Amino acid sequence: DDRKLLLCEPQTYMNTSGEAVRALVDYYQVPLNQVLLVMDDADLRLGEIRMRPGGSSGGHHGLESIEQHLRTREYPRLRIGIGRTESGERRITEYVLDQFSAEERELVAKAVDRAADQVECWVSQGIARAMSQFNGVVTA
């Protein structure tokens, strides 16, 4: 296979990640349907993975920045659930920066492995197949 794949992790704050994504899209002249954004999502259960061809930011500040800089919501994204702390327990900003427990790390590792398989499927077979085959919750 002679396809090229570029993996990038913006070195910006999450809330300004749209700047880095826009710069990469422009520099490499990548069509937006060939850009896949992968992110954690506190609104999905721990271990859930969900790929979509587009949609709203759902309040995710990183996606809001990307939508602003790309001027569209129509780009593929893969969200990996990290769960959310119980209401009132801790602020979300503290939660997303905290460490996972040993049990949670095991589940996250399985979800990341499955997400990597989903990305390979997306590259080779397209988004519809990747969504139908891999979207869902990983169990321990």
Q: What CATH number should be reported for the domain holding residue 61?
A: 3.40.50.1470
Q: What is the pLDDT of residues 17-43, one digit of tens each?
A: 999 999 999 999 999 999 999 998 888
* 4 in any annotated domain: no
Which pLDDT belongs to residue 5?
86
Find residue 64's DSSP bridge partners: none
* 6 in any annotated domain: no
Query: Cβ distance 20 to 10 under 8 Å?
Result: yes
* 57 in any annotated domain: yes
Q: What is the pLDDT of residues 93-127, one digit of tens each?
A: 555 566 778 888 899 899 999 999 999 999 999 99
Name residues whose C-beta falls within 8 Å of residue 3's C-beta, 6 or more positions apart in sequence.
Answer: 123
The backbone torsions φ and ψ at residue 40, rounded to the nearest 5 degrees and listed phi first, read -80, 155
- Lookup: tokens for 20: 């880095």
Domains held by the chain: number: 1
Query: Cβ distance 138 to 115 under 8 Å?
Result: no
The pTM for the full model equals: 0.86
